[in-house]
Amino acid sequence: MEADLCGSGPRRDAYGRKWSRAAAGPRGGPVTHLPNDIEVVECAEYDHIEIDTALWLNDAHQIVLNSEIDGRDILRANFRKGVLRLQATSYVGVIPLNEHVVVRVKPRVPIANLTRMVIETGHTVLALSAFREYSGRGTADDWAMDLYTDALLDYADELVDSGLQREYERRASEGHFPHGRIDFKRTMQRFGARGIPNKAAYSWFERTVDTSLNRCVKAAMEAVHAHLVKAKDKPRKGDRGRIARLAGQLLAFEEVAHDPDYRFLDDPQVLGLTPLPDPRAYYRPILDLSVLILRGVGIALDLGGADVKLGSLLIDTNKLFENFVRVTLSKHAARHGWPVDVLDGNTDGKVNLYDVPDPLPAPLGTPLQALATRDPGKAQPDIVLRAADGTFLLIAEVKNTAHGKHADADDVLPERGEVEQAVTYALRYGRPLTLLIHPWIKGTKGLVYVGRVRSVDVYDYRLDLSSEEHIDESLAVMANTIYSLAGLPIQIPTSG
């Protein structure tokens, strides 16, 4: 039994996040027994979360929920052993449940490099306004720069609203109308010795925004502007609006000098080696982000890190794992000249699930009209290998499930529902075998023979993504195994 986590009436909490109340009952009831500090709860995908119900239910039995996760299958409320509990789903990342609770959901399977998987597949991440810390890693590509752009624009708005840092800078001049402090020694040397009584050398202090901190931020804004205006294969929706917004922000930095040599990166305050004055502490997030942008450093999506603060990015690992396996196999096939197309069964590779026989069956004496006449259904395997003549050579189902994680045995059967789906697809595509692909948890790595369901052999490939160092090797072995299962001819390497 599941409760509906829907809400209405967005409000702002003490941390600036939107949240709302949900579920049945009168609206606007007070939340009681809630602490002033934020509780952080750690869990893995699909784990039940031990959170005191007083932290997310009010006295009117309304769920106090961040409105950004309303209507999304990110957290579920259900009964377990007679107790109403929350359960995580396939989304990993930092989830602000409400103003009192933050949930950190980690992948339940050992995935070494979420960032690489997201970049290679172009997988969409769900951005929330709640901030979390990330590590900088690798090189900033377009994907990272797109994230940096939105974050920098938001930070720059806050910076302009809060006020740019100003410092007093000493200025010096000479003339008939001195102001500030007169430099008597220099006046005597320059004018007194020459008999000029009506001129003096003087100095004064002037407040200026041309500081190392502001030069750093302006340089990052200029780098983001260059990213937005450059030609892209797939420009993002709203880039024109971002350019206009950035142009308006740059007006506030007109008096800040351009430093092409980035000499401001030698400033310990810019790098965070020296703390900022308390009144200017709001500069720290935008400075950290600006340094990453100017150094061209990418972002690591794995939980943990303290290089930069960005909005929390949630990743649906079920879709990510499926997309990553299919995209990797497709790239490998193209690179090695496979005589097949690697298709997504949800789109190009799907076929009708039901046929309508002729003549129709008549078990009661009169032919029965087939429902499939109006709706033949769809068979949609995650991966379909199709030859040039249109024949199907292999179908595979990709499942990001953690079967056997808590089992005593190292090797256990796949979930029955997954096998039944894969066997049904094999029969529909006329194949003598079917393949499941799972992330490896424990036990045997690589290809496992499960058994035979009547005429269909069932295989399970357990892909090891636990080590970032060996991911490429694991993917190549998987691709070669699938090539063999499809019955394709042995490829003989040719000399270049």
Q: pLDDT digits over 382-402, tens only?
A: 999 999 999 999 999 999 987
β-bridge pairing 167-175 and 91-96? unpaired
pLDDT at 98: 80
For residue 128, being part of any structural domain is answered with no
Same domain assignment for residues 77 and 152 = no
Residues 6+ apart with CB under 8 A from 14: 99
For residue 60, being part of any structural domain is answered with yes
Confidence category of residue 491, pLDDT binned at 50, 70, 90 = low
pLDDT at 402: 78
For residue 81, being part of any structural domain is answered with yes
User: Where a domain ends, among 81, 106, 131?
Assistant: 106
Same domain assignment for residues 242 and 383 = no
For residue 494, being part of any structural domain is answered with no
Same domain assignment for residues 246 and 344 = no
Same domain assignment for residues 286 and 323 = no
Please, are residues 113 and 467 in contact by the beta-carbon 8 Å criterion?
Answer: no
Same domain assignment for residues 240 and 339 = no
pLDDT of residue 274 exceeding 80, the answer is yes
Same domain assignment for residues 433 and 326 = yes
pLDDT of residue 18 exceeding 70, the answer is no
* Residue 224 belongs to domain spanning: 141-166+210-295
Give dist(CA 284, CA 271) in Å, integer.
Answer: 9
For residue 135, being part of any structural domain is answered with no
pLDDT at 496: 40
Confidence category of residue 64, pLDDT binned at 50, 70, 90 = confident
What's the whole-model pTM score? 0.74
Same domain assignment for residues 336 and 227 = no
Same domain assignment for residues 245 and 330 = no
Question: How many other C-beta atoms lie within 10 A of the C-beta of residue 389?
Answer: 6
Confidence category of residue 2, pLDDT binned at 50, 70, 90 = very low
Same domain assignment for residues 287 and 321 = no
Please, are residues 164 and 209 in contact by the beta-carbon 8 Å criterion?
Answer: yes
pLDDT at 10: 40
Give dist(CA 430, CA 451) in Å, integer.
Answer: 18
For residue 111, being part of any structural domain is answered with no
Give dist(CA 491, CA 453) in Å, integer.
Answer: 31
pLDDT at 40: 85
Task: Give me the percent of the chain exceeding a pLDDT of 90.
Answer: 46
For residue 259, being part of any structural domain is answered with yes
pLDDT of residue 26 exceeding 80, the answer is no
411-448 pLDDT, tens digit per residue, is 899 999 999 999 999 999 999 999 999 999 889 999 99
Same domain assignment for residues 323 and 441 = yes
Same domain assignment for residues 72 and 27 = yes
Q: Work out how many domains the chain is built from and give that number.
A: 3
Q: Among all chains, which residue has been given the structure tokens 């609006």?
A: 241
pLDDT at 24: 32
* pLDDT, the chain, mean: 84
For residue 395, being part of any structural domain is answered with yes
Helix, strand or coil, per DSSP, at residue 489: coil
Same domain assignment for residues 12 and 51 = yes
